[in-house]
Amino acid sequence: MFDALLLKTFVAVVDEGGFSRAGERLHLTQSAVSGHLRRLEEQVGKPLLTRTTRSQQLTPDGQRLIAYARGILALHRDAWAELTRSAFEGSLRVGVSEEFAEARLLRELQDVAAQYPGLHISVQVGIPGSLLSLMKQGELDVVVGSLCESSEPGLALWREPLVWAWSMQPLAALPTPLPLALFPEPCPYREAALSRLAQAGIAQRTAMQCASYAALHAAASAGFAVAPMAQSQVGRGLAVLGAEHGLPALPDAEFRLFSAPDADPRMVEVVTQVVLRYGAARRH
């Protein structure tokens, strides 16, 4: 019989691309993650990952097991939902940052609501700082968003590089002062971009203040302004600018889930799993 905890760790290592990030996701030390993988390989009697100093790849047996592991964990979640859904009644108010406002995540939340007929889920889209303020005021139960270099307590979900996005069109030299497309305050990407440019002594101006990711993409893809965004959001028509263009490195975007002290911990866990599945799909 497979241990569900070991399977969960195995899936996290594969999804996160490493032991340290899997540990962050599961709130385990890197040695604990390694121990779980070693125990799972002992149970199977075969290696599941080929490890190098910089990466790990699934072995053929690992590729076979990962599909079963996802299915087993999904059945665990379904069984838990089925046996506990009568306890979930009332409303769940979820705050999501602009970059999460996608049909894929909303469908996942809709599926959760369908599992619990007495549960009503409402979603508010906004800037993480504003959403966290609303949660502290008792107006939201859960907030999902990203921060940069912040000590705000929350469940670590994953990390991504924060990058400078610009049009695919050829670039001879960056305009000066550097035109920026930014969300209004209090936006962590805005703060990180302005801080790094100031430290590098690069003049900038806000060429466009955006209220949505669609506007941010439009400004960058048109070559109207440079936009700081998480790497997974760099889609068609966009290129990443870096040190070769004279721009400073940005900190990682740290995706976290925050919950109100009085939020139902079981419902928070359900939402956490929804967001983790969404995040894994969006990064692959």
* Average pLDDT in the chain: 87
Q: Is the pLDDT of residue 82 over 70?
A: no
Question: Tokens 């053929």 appear where?
Answer: 60
Asked if 237 and 115 sit in the same domain, the reply is: yes
Instruction: For residue 154, name the pLDDT band (cuts at 50, 70, 90).
Output: confident
Its domain, for residue 121, covers: 90-284
Instruction: Tell whether 98 and 66 lie within a shared domain.
Output: no
Same domain for 54 and 187, yes or no, is: no
Query: Where residue 27 sits, what CATH number does that domain have?
Result: 1.10.10.10
**pLDDT level of residue 55 (50, 70, 90 thresholds):** low
Please work out, in degrees rounded to the nearest 5, the angle formed at the alpha carbon of residue 251 by the alpha carbons of 222 and 213: 35
pLDDT for 3-48, tens place per residue? 888 998 998 888 888 888 888 777 788 888 899 999 999 989 999 9
Residues 173 and 35 placed together within one structural domain of the fold:
no
On whether both 229 and 154 belong to a single domain, the answer is yes
- Reply yes or no on whether the pLDDT at 86 is more than 60: no
| Same domain membership, residue 94 and residue 12 | no
Same domain, 159 and 27: no
**In the listed set 55, 83, 111, which residue is the last one of a domain according to the structure?**
83
Residues 92-108 have pLDDT tens digits of 899 998 888 888 888 88
pLDDT of 80 strictly over 90: no
d(CA 208, CA 205): 9
- In a shared domain, residues 42 and 172: no
Q: Tell me, what CATH number does 132's domain have?
A: 3.40.190.290
Task: Round to whole Å and give the CA distance between 144 and 157.
Answer: 9
Which has the minimum average pLDDT: 73-87, 90-104, 151-165?
A: 73-87
**Do both 227 and 125 map to the same domain?**
yes
Q: Are residues 136 and 234 in the same domain?
A: yes
Question: Each residue of 200-227: pLDDT tens digit?
Answer: 999 999 999 998 888 999 999 999 999 9
**pLDDT on residue 95:** 95
Lowest mean pLDDT among 21-30, 55-64, 80-89, 263-272: 80-89
* Model confidence pLDDT, tens digit, residues 173-197: 889 999 999 999 888 999 999 999 9
Report the percentage of the chain scoring pLDDT > 90.
Answer: 40
Q: Of 83, 100, 116, which closes a domain?
A: 83
pLDDT per residue as tens digits for the range 251-269? 999 988 999 988 888 788 8
Pair 76, 123 in one domain: no
Under the banding of pLDDT at 50, 70 and 90, the label for residue 142 is very high
| Counted domains in the chain | 2
Give one DSSP letter per residue of 213-278, joined into a string.
HHHHHHHHHTTS-BEEEEGGG--TTEEEE-GGGTPPPPPEEEEEEEE-TTS-HHHHHHHHHHHHHH
Choose the final residue of a domain: 49, 83, 117. Answer: 83
pLDDT confidence of residue 202: 96
Whether residues 97 and 229 fall in one domain: yes
pTM over 0.95: no
Burial class (CB in 10 A: 0-12, 13-18, 19+), 123: middle
Q: How far apart are CA 212 and CA 262, in angstroms?
A: 30
